[in-house]
Amino acid sequence: MAGHSKRANIQHRKGRQDAARSKLFSKLSKEITVAAKMGDPDPDKNPRLRLAVKEAKSNSVPKDVIDRAIKKSQGGDADTYEEIRYEGYGPGGVAVIVEAMTDNRNRTASNVRSTFGKHGGNLGETGSVAFMFERKGQIVYPAAVGDAETVLEAAIDAGAEDVESGEDGHTIWCDATDLAAVATALETALGESETTRLVWKPGTTTDLDLEGATRLLKLIDALEDDDDVQTVTANFEISDEVMAAL
């Protein structure tokens, strides 16, 4: 009878975690390089780069990795990446937006299309699902930063549009073009945020049963595993009961 040692399982799990961490660092570094190459290499003079660096730091990317990514953008041999958005539908009719940075459009398009197809989805045309989302700035703080009223007052003063507070923390929403300014004001009032990023916020969501949730999450995992893919957003809801089953 086959068996599994606890040590082997721990090593395997750690290996997967390390691989995922390395892939995340690579994606964040790519965003820093692109942001620095498109604008000023000084984060204080480049809002996009400032946000990219902030997001990298919130994910524990080492300072030397961030510095190398910025330096790489100024070299003559820096890779040239094209930003592309893909849109489509996943299992259960869930709308999916995929943002990628690539040096080979044909390769990335082929991989994304294939991944959708293998997991019960369909890649659509640009604009086919984006109308279901709004481009927003999202700033997240832990619950320990203060109560809902304190965070709401700080958010209003900073120019935010909305705040969602709960046991897990506070999510602050603002117009996409105001993200850098709102994040800076909130940092003065509340300290360092957990995350600060631009996101696609769904206007409506689709409820998924266990089968649909299982299939969709496999699609999202497969898309996120692609080195060219930066973010994957989908407009779905999973109930506590289904999450427990998962």
Domains of the chain by start residue, with CATH: 7-73 (1.10.10.200), 82-131+203-245 (3.30.70.980), 143-193 (no CATH)
User: Given this model, what pLDDT does residue 17 score?
Assistant: 60
pLDDT of residue 144: 93
Please list the residues that pair with 83 across neighbouring strands: 101
Residues of the chain with pLDDT under 70: 1-19, 76-79
- pTM here is 0.80
Q: For the chain, give me the number of helices (H) and strands (E)?
A: 8, 10
pLDDT of the residue at 16: 54
Relative orientation angle of helices 63-73 and 6-38, to the nearest 10 degrees: 40
**Termini Cα distance of the chain:** 27
pLDDT of residue 100: 93
